[in-house]
Amino acid sequence: MTSTDAETTIRQLQKQNRILAKQLKRSEADRAKLEDFNRDKESILKRIICELQESQSVLEKKGQDLEQTLHELTLTQSKLVEAEKMAALGALVAGVAHEINTPIGTSITLASTLGDETKDLVKAMAQGSLKRSRFQNYLKVAQNCAALLFINLDRAGQLVQSFKQVAVDQSSLEQRTFLVKPYLMEIITSLSPHFKNTYHQIDLVGDDTITLNSYPGAIAQIVTNLVTNSLTHAYGDGDHGHITLEVCAKEHYILLRYKDDGGGISEQNLSKIFEPFFTTARNRGGTGLGLHIIYNLVTQNLQGQISVSSQPDQGTQFDIKLPVHLKKN
């Protein structure tokens, strides 16, 4: 290497050295800026983490509050459901008591009549003034009274029997095998006080021999609620309503079709009727639980399905499909 070449190489190396030194200085400055930047970012990040932690605590507290509220609401709801059931039972008791009052009252009158007649007869015998014709008359009255007493007490007994069955089933929800149509008849009978002083009519149609192994109490509750709903919401004063309850056996299920020809349900409300606490009659004491209870009884206790179709002024129809055999839970 000549001295000129060496000088050139040294100059180039010196230039490289200057460039590298400058780049190093620039890198150092950039690194310092980056460190500042990172510190800023870190402080922002720390602040955000603190805020997130605070938010998390607030959310956890809110979550606990919500859980507590939900728990309380569930309790309240089940209490309300229970209260509604008891209210339905109460209405049933009142209706049945009113119904029984008539034969019992008649029986008391008859027993009183028979007592008075017997007392007069005993008195006449003691005085020795008893005539044959009078004795024969007494026997006629006694026979009539006994016959009427039997009829009235039998009627009262029937009412008590049907009420007992419905009330016991409703409160105990015991599973048993039963004839569907006769059972529905008993329910309708127990509901007959509701139809007094109205022009409404309820018809039961279908095969008498259909049996079901299920919870009759649930069915009683369902029918009671459906009838009460129709009477409360579907008809106005003086309407001549016609309710039909039909039972028929399909291939894999029993269809219970309930139909009224009342005012129907608007499209807007139709999608909400099974929701708990949805009611259009809160000002008249409606709780909005009747149809919700029906829905729960059909889908849970009876393992069935319920659907509704209705249009304003076209009446409402509920189709309840019940499995012939319940699956064991």
Partner 1 sequence: MLKIAVGHSNDPDSLEAAQEVLEQCNQDLAGQAPQVGLLLTAFDFEHSIILEQINATFPDLQLIGGTTDGELSSVLEFQQDSVTLMLLASDEVEFQTGVARHVSQNPVELTRQAVVNAQAQLSSDPKFCIAIPESLTASGDDILQGLQTALGATVPILGGATADQAEMKCTYQFFNQEVLQDAVPFLLVGGNVVFSYGVASGWTPIGKRSQITKADKNTIYEIDGKPALDFYHYYINNFVPSAAYPLAVFPAGEDRFFLRGSLTHDPEIGSITVSGDIPTDATVQITEASLDAIISASKAALTDALKHYPGKQPDAALFFSCSWRRYILGTRTKEEYQEISTSLDSNLPICGFYTFGELAPLRDGGPTVFHNTTFTTLLLGTP
Which residue among 6, 10, 19, 248 contacts partner 1 (CB under 8 A)? Answer: 19
Q: Is 23 in the site for partner 1 (CB under 8 A)?
A: yes
3-class DSSP state of 14: helix
Instruction: Tally Cβ neighbours within 10 Å of residue 85.
Output: 20
Q: Which residues pair with 316 in a beta bridge?
A: 260, 310
Which residue among 15, 41, 79, 164 contacts partner 1 (CB under 8 A)? Answer: 15
Least separation in angstroms between residue 263's CB and partner 1 is 48
* Span near partner 1 by CB under 8 A; candidates 21-29, 229-237, 279-287, 321-329: 21-29
3-class DSSP state of 50: helix
Q: For 279, list phi and psi in degrees, rounded to 5.
A: -150, 150
Which residue among 7, 9, 26, 312 contacts partner 1 (CB under 8 A)? Answer: 26
3-class DSSP state of 208: coil
Tokens in use for 78? 């089940």
Least separation in angstroms between residue 7's CB and partner 1 is 14
CB 230 within 8 A of CB 198: no
Q: Is 24 in the site for partner 1 (CB under 8 A)?
A: no
First to last CA, the chain: 101
* Span near partner 1 by CB under 8 A; candidates 17-25, 70-78, 79-87, 267-275: 17-25
Least separation in angstroms between residue 62's CB and partner 1 is 21
Number of residues lying near partner 1 (CB under 8 A):
7
Residue with smaller CB distance to partner 1, 50 or 146: 50
Distance of CA 114 to the CA centre of its chain: 50
User: Where do contacts with partner 1 occur on this chain (CB under 8 A)?
Assistant: 15, 18-19, 21-23, 26
